[in-house]
């Protein structure tokens, strides 16, 4: 398909030309530079902070816990301090801040600031957290526990022909946005203005309001943001607090810019997960029961873990119909940098877990991996684990069959099995596995996944996102929202939604700068909610606007008008939209979001409509594994996504490409581990992400099954592609070796070990 210039991203040119201003592009007179003094221990008592006399402290500003008016970062809870006061709970936890006229002087000052610690025992393993004598949170270190129960597992046990048990693990993942975290705070009389690379301006504003309660007013401005992926959802509240405190105490504007090492080691990551799973099936392979104990390793403070956990628990069994279910999910504390939001928000961990359960079943029942999935797929009219009846826009089977057909799955499966046979045979016999340079093992695997758009449960009704559209003096509608562009295409989507709703050119629509003094709180830019949730307010207001103008025209001329294709027709008059709108310059339209009233969720018992609707997808991954080096390459990746309606087709494809590749990285490249409380990566030397050369051939199809309450039927898209990529890749590796692989990332050394098992046991696990 040829690109249509009308579909270009509205932010593309300014970014390509280097005109877009990122936070590091700000030129502010008298700007000071801030840095952070961090704990070198996973857990320790702070004994003292000493200022070395050899340094001239009057030239710099130092902030410690004593200087913080209210020392907590308001998020779901208030447990995380802005600066540690008595105890540090993770390696890198901020203890003090220094600002100076130059970065060099600030670094020099840091050399002369001596913090003494008494190291304490710490929690290193999420499975040990509950029993540990070390108490990081409450009596058992559980930040949040969720139980989802349906039917009766005893019943499942009675009717089942087979019970399969397995443990599944997923690792950390780092966002690797192009632009590391950065923030500038500017003191202005009674106000502090904070500007930075961030997703959720009102989260930052609320957090700073609590810290400076009554002392300063707060304004938050969104700078052009070079990627976020959830990593700039909660963390910027802490960074903004640091910059603001330095600005408050020094009286100077202060910037804090993280370098890559600091960003990788000390900002949020994707939560690692561990789960113990038991699954009951009948003789045909139909699921009769599922029993899951699921843990998220949440790090030292609560941050967003309860909601990440909720999404994981509500996602796990989503694609399959299972009559008896028990999911016990816990977010537990460890002495590690707090994990936070990351594209998929618990979904990738959950779907990987469920898809490995299906893989294990297939192997134990000696069925094909796609067949076990096929007979268990949930469909319209059926009920999920929370008792939600899926009523509309359900495309689980459509995406599944479409991707199998387009990828030629069945034929390739047979072909690759045959192809692999002699190579595997030589491996088993311990002989040199290659007769020919092209002797690589070929895998094909699949995954089925979904993502609920918008906040979980009653979240949207609590937050009541507000949107405002104003007509400017030129008769152009200006959209005022707190939604932020971070590369996902929100600016293009918003302008296009209103342009289409009014049947005018996209150039006619403007967006207000995201500044909390100007824009209403439409909620955070998370949970793939901008297009579906906030976008629905845009179409609602668009309709209201036309209705209002039609009424006004009738009043003015005394006869009715009609609106079509951007023009008002009445009598023998034809008035373009802009001409009519111009007469209403200054007119304001506002609207607040509510879910359709029949969507109900009981947050005490975890019952009901967890999400108003789901986006659905399935993927097929093909891989090649070198039988000597065990190097893994994803060669082809097919995926079908059903997203209600693609607001901008090219951009939707790009989201699916990027998200899928990020999921491939999660599966086979990105390894980040905790060793003695320290994270073991420092930058791109030891944290490997897929690059263009690792990009497989991708074949993407978008299906549209409109959601009646989304703008033009659109549902959420941004996170979905990442959610199911890793299990598809691992499924293809399991297909090659016919052995359990239940953890990601999978590295060549893991496959080497599998080959050793093959060799020892002649293929028996
Ligand atoms: N795509 C790009 N290019 N950059 C990003 O930072 N963030 C993802 C996804 N796609 C991200 C992205 C995440 S975490 C979310 S929640 C959604 O976009 C948000 O998009 P939406 O609210 O506009 O739908
Ligand atoms: Mo996205 S993880 O919800 O910011």
Q: Would you say residue 1 has pLDDT above 70?
A: no
Ligand nearest to the CA of 711: 1
CA of 530 to the centre of ligand 1 (A): 9
DSSP string, 145-163: EEEEEES-HHHHHHH-SEE
pLDDT at residue 2, as a whole number: 67
CA of 484 to the centre of ligand 2 (A): 12
**Which position has the token pair 């991996």?**
369
685-733 pLDDT per residue, tens: 999 999 999 999 999 999 999 999 999 999 999 999 999 999 999 999 9
Strand partners, 38: 94
- Residues 44 and 120: beta-carbon distance below 8 Å: yes
Going from the C-alpha of 745 to that of each of 194, 486, 515, 673, 720, the distances in angstroms are 38, 26, 40, 11, 19
Q: Could you tell me if the CB of 343 is within 6 A of ligand 1?
A: yes
Q: Could you tell me if the CB of 482 is within 6 A of ligand 1?
A: no
Q: Locate 377 and state its tokens.
A: 């797929």
CA of 92 to the centre of ligand 2 (A): 24
Q: Looking at ligand 2, which atom is closest to the CA of residue 718?
A: 1
Q: Do domains 22-122+176-266 and 377-384+392-455+609-761 have the same CATH topology?
A: no
Q: Could you tell me if the CB of 525 is within 6 A of ligand 1?
A: yes
Q: Could you tell me if the CB of 343 is within 6 A of ligand 2?
A: yes
- Sorting pLDDT into bands at 50, 70 and 90, what band is 763? low
Q: Looking at ligand 2, which atom is closest to the CA of residue 228?
A: 4
Going from the C-alpha of 217 to that of each of 194, 220, 638, the distances in angstroms are 11, 10, 51
Test site for ligand 2: of 347, 456, 487, 527, most ligand atoms within 8 A of the Cβ: 527
Q: Could you tell me if the CB of 341 is within 6 A of ligand 2?
A: yes
Per-position b or e across 658-697, b if 16+ CB within 10 A of its CB: bbbbbbbbbbbbbbbebeebbbebeeeeebbbbeeeeebe
Q: How many Cα atoms occupy the beta-carbon half-sphere of 203 within 13 Å?
A: 26
CA of 230 to the centre of ligand 2 (A): 4
- Sorting pLDDT into bands at 50, 70 and 90, what band is 765? low
Q: Looking at ligand 2, which atom is closest to the CA of residue 719?
A: 1
Over residues 669-680, the mean pLDDT reads 97
Give nearest CA residue, ligand 2 atom 4: 230
CA of 452 to the centre of ligand 2 (A): 12
Over residues 673-683, the mean pLDDT reads 96
According to CATH, what is the number of the domain 459-594?
Answer: 3.30.365.10
Q: Would you say residue 256 has pLDDT above 90?
A: yes
Over residues 488-511, the mean pLDDT reads 97
Test site for ligand 2: of 173, 343, 655, most ligand atoms within 8 A of the Cβ: 343
Q: Looking at ligand 2, which atom is closest to the CA of residue 525?
A: 4
Q: Does domain 377-384+392-455+609-761 have CATH number 3.30.365.10?
A: yes
CA of 486 to the centre of ligand 1 (A): 7
Ligand nearest to the CA of 710: 1
- Sorting pLDDT into bands at 50, 70 and 90, what band is 248? very high
Q: Could you tell me if the CB of 577 is within 6 A of ligand 1?
A: no
Q: Could you tell me if the CB of 658 is within 6 A of ligand 1?
A: yes
DSSP state letter for 566: T
Test site for ligand 1: of 528, 530, 538, most ligand atoms within 8 A of the Cβ: 528
Q: Would you say residue 5 has pLDDT above 80?
A: no
List CB contacts of 749: < 8 A, sequence separation 6 or more: 630
Over residues 658-682, the mean pLDDT reads 97
36-95 pLDDT per residue, tens: 999 999 999 999 999 999 999 999 999 999 999 999 999 999 999 999 999 999 999 999
CA angle at 230 for the pair 192 and 679, rounded to the nearest 5°: 100
CA of 345 to the centre of ligand 2 (A): 6
127-177 pLDDT per residue, tens: 999 999 999 999 999 999 999 999 999 999 999 999 999 999 999 999 999
Q: Would you say residue 245 has pLDDT above 60?
A: yes
Q: Looking at ligand 2, which atom is closest to the CA of residue 231?
A: 4
User: What distance in Å separates the CA atoms of residue 313 and residue 315, rounded to the nearest whole number?
Assistant: 6
* Orientation of helix 305-315 relative to helix 347-365, angle to 10°: 30
pLDDT at residue 760, as a whole number: 84
Q: Could you tell me if the CB of 526 is within 6 A of ligand 1?
A: yes
Q: Could you tell me if the CB of 489 is within 6 A of ligand 1?
A: no
Ligand nearest to the CA of 493: 1
CA of 696 to the centre of ligand 2 (A): 25
Strand ranges (E), 472-527: 477-480, 510-511
Give nearest CA residue, ligand 1 atom 5: 229
Give nearest CA residue, ligand 1 atom 3: 487
CATH topology for the 126-174+269-348 domain: Aldehyde Oxidoreductase; domain 4 (3.30.365)
pLDDT at residue 3, as a whole number: 64
Q: Could you tell me if the CB of 230 is within 6 A of ligand 1?
A: yes
Q: Could you tell me if the CB of 497 is within 6 A of ligand 1?
A: no
Q: Could you tell me if the CB of 723 is within 6 A of ligand 1?
A: no
Q: Could you tell me if the CB of 90 is within 6 A of ligand 2?
A: no
- Give which of 474, 503, 495, 744 is closest to 632, Cα–Cα: 744
- How much of the chain exceeds pLDDT 90, in percent? 98
Q: Where are the domains of the chain?
A: 22-122+176-266, 126-174+269-348, 377-384+392-455+609-761, 459-594
CA of 210 to the centre of ligand 1 (A): 28
The H or E element containing residue 555 is: helix 535-557
pTM as predicted: 0.98
Average pLDDT over all residues of the chain? 97
pLDDT at residue 762, as a whole number: 66
pLDDT at residue 343, as a whole number: 98
Q: Would you say residue 761 has pLDDT above 80?
A: no
The H or E element containing residue 103 is: helix 103-111
Q: Looking at ligand 2, which atom is closest to the CA of residue 199?
A: 4
Q: Could you tell me if the CB of 233 is within 6 A of ligand 2?
A: yes
- Sorting pLDDT into bands at 50, 70 and 90, what band is 367? very high
Test site for ligand 1: of 343, 346, 529, most ligand atoms within 8 A of the Cβ: 343
Ligand nearest to the CA of 456: 2
pLDDT at residue 154, as a whole number: 96
CA of 462 to the centre of ligand 1 (A): 22
Q: Alpha carbon 338 to chain centroid distance?
A: 15
- Residues 334 and 298: beta-carbon distance below 8 Å: yes
CA of 149 to the centre of ligand 1 (A): 32
Q: Could you tell me if the CB of 718 is within 6 A of ligand 1?
A: yes
CA of 116 to the centre of ligand 2 (A): 38
pLDDT at residue 8, as a whole number: 85
CA of 756 to the centre of ligand 2 (A): 40
Q: Could you tell me if the CB of 531 is within 6 A of ligand 1?
A: yes
Q: Could you tell me if the CB of 526 is within 6 A of ligand 2?
A: yes
> Could you tell me how many helices (H) and strands (E) the chain has, helices first?
20, 31
CA of 455 to the centre of ligand 1 (A): 14
Q: Looking at ligand 2, which atom is closest to the CA of residue 344?
A: 2
List CB contacts of 27: < 8 A, sequence separation 6 or more: none
Q: How many Cα atoms occupy the beta-carbon half-sphere of 200 within 13 Å?
A: 26
Q: Under DSSP, is residue 570 helix (H, G, I), strand (E, B) or coil? A: strand
Q: Could you tell me if the CB of 227 is within 6 A of ligand 1?
A: yes
Q: Domain 22-122+176-266 in CATH: superfamily?
A: Aldehyde oxidase/xanthine dehydrogenase, a/b hammerhead (3.90.1170.50)
333-362 pLDDT per residue, tens: 999 999 999 999 999 999 999 999 999 999
């Amino acid at each position: 398909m040829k690109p249509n210039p009308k579909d270009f991203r509205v932010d593309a040119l300014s970014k390509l030309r280097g005109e877009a201003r990122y936070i590091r592009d700000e030129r502010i007179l008298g700007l000071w530079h801030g840095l952070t003094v961090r704990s070198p221990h996973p857990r320790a008592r702070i004994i003292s902070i000493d200022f070395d006399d050899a340094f001239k402290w009057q030239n710099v500003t130092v902030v410690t816990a004593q200087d913080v008016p209210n020392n907590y970062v308001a998020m779901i809870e208030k447990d995380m301090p802005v600066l540690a006061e008595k105890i540090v709970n993770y390696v890198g936890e901020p203890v003090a801040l220094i600002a100076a006229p130059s970065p060099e002087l600030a670094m020099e000052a840091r050399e002369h600031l001596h913090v003494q610690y008494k190291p304490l025992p710490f929690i290193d393993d999420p499975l040990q957290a509950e029993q540990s004598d070390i108490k990081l949170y409450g009596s058992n270190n559980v930040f949040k526990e969720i139980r989802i129960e349906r039917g009766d597992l005893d019943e499942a046990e009675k009717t089942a022909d087979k019970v399969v048990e397995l443990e599944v693990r997923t690792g950390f993942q780092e966002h690797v946005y192009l632009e590391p975290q950065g923030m500038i705070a500017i003191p202005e009389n009674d106000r502090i203005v904070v500007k930075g690379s961030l997703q959720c301006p009102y989260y930052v504003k609320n957090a700073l309001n609590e810290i400076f309660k009554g002392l300063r007013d707060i304004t938050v401005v969104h700078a052009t943001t070079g990627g976020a992926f959830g990593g700039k959802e909660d963390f910027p509240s802490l960074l903004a607090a640091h910059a603001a405190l330095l600005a408050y105490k020094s009286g100077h504007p202060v910037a804090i810019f993280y370098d890559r090492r600091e960003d990788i080691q000390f900002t949020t990551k994707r939560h690692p997960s561990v789960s113990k799973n038991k699954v009951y099936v009948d003789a045909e392979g139909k699921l009769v029961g599922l029993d899951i104990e699921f843990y998220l390793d949440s790090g030292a403070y609560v941050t967003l873990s309860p909601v990440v956990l909720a999404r994981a628990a509500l996602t796990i069994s989503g694609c399959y119909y299972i009559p008896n279910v028990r999911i016990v999910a816990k977010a537990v504390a460890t002495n590690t940098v707090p994990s936070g939001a990351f594209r998929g928000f618990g979904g990738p961990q959950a779907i990987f877990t469920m898809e490995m359960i299906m893989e294990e079943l297939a192997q134990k029942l000696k069925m094909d991996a796609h067949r076990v999935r096929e007979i268990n797929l949930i469909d319209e009219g059926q009920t999920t684990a929370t008792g939600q009846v899926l009523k509309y826009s359900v495309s689980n089977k459509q995406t599944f069959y479409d991707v199998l057909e387009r990828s030629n799955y069945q034929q390739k499966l047979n072909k690759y099995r045959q192809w692999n046979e002699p190579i595997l045979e030589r491996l088993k016999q311990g002989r040199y596995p290659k007769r020919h340079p092209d002797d690589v093992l070929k895998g094909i695997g699949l995954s089925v996944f979904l993502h609920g758009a918008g906040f979980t449960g009653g979240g949207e009704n609590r937050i009541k996102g507000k949107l405002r559209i104003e007509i400017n003096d030129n008769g152009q509608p200006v959209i005022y929202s707190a939604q932020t562009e971070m590369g996902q295409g929100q600016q293009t989507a918003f302008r296009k939604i209103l342009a289409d709703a009014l049947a005018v050119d996209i150039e006619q629509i403007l967006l207000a700068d995201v500044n909390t003094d100007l824009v209403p709180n439409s909620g955070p830019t998370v949970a793939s909610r901008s297009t579906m949730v906030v976008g629905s307010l845009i179409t609602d207001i668009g309709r209201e606007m036309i209705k209002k103008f039609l009424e006004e025209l009738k009043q003015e001329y005394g006869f009715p008008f009609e609106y079509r294709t951007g023009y008002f027709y009445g009598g023998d008059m034809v008035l373009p939209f802009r001409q009519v709108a111009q007469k209403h310059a200054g007119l304001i339209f506002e609207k607040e979001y509510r879910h359709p009233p029949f969507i109900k969720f009981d947050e005490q018992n975890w019952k009901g409509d967890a999400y108003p609707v789901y986006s659905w997808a399935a993927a097929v991954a093909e891989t090649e594994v070198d039988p000597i080096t065990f190097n893994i390459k994803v060669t082809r990746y097919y995926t079908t996504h059903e997203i209600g309606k693609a607001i901008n087709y090219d951009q939707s494809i790009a989201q699916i490409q990027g998200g899928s590749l990020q999921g491939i990285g999660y599966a086979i490249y990105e390894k980040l581990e905790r060793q003695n409380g320290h994270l073991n990566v420092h930058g791109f030397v030891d944290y490997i992400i897929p690059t263009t050369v690792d990009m497989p051939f991708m074949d993407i199809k978008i299906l549209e099954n409109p959601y009646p309450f989304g703008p033009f039927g659109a549902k959420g898209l941004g996170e979905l592609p990442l959610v199911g990529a890793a299990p598809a890749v691992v499924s293809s590796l399991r297909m090659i070796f016919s052995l359990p692989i239940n953890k990601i990332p999978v590295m060549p050394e893991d496959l080497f070990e599998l080959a050793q098992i093959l060799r020892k046991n002649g293929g028996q696990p």
